Amino acid sequence: MMNLITLPLIAHDTGTVAFWVSYRKQTRCRSWRGAMIHFAKQHGTAVAHLADDSAYVITRSNLHNSGAYWTHFSKDEVQWH
């Protein structure tokens, strides 16, 4: 059996794509992914809950040019808690 990654459904850093689109307007970013990168740079982590129950997780990283590291988890790898 595959190990599932448990992500909180309700947390300060978790939002749907619609939430990140609305946050994009406040931060003046061009896309919802840009808004997530902006949030991750400030707070350390940003999680997007996609419609097909997969997830994007962005963490702050000084090793990448954008300052953030992207990870995509398919719906088979994620368990929403």
Residues 29-47 have pLDDT tens digits of: 999 989 998 998 889 899 9
Q: Is 35 exposed, middle or buried (0-12, 13-18, 19+ CB in 10 A)?
A: buried
Task: Provide the pLDDT confidence category of residue 64 given band limits of 50, 70 and 90.
Answer: low
Q: What is the domain partition of the chain in residue ranges?
A: 10-80
What pTM was computed for the model?
0.83
Per-residue pLDDT, averaged over 9-29, amounts to 88
Q: Report how far residue 36's alpha carbon sits from residue 79's, in angstroms, rounded to the nearest whole number.
A: 21
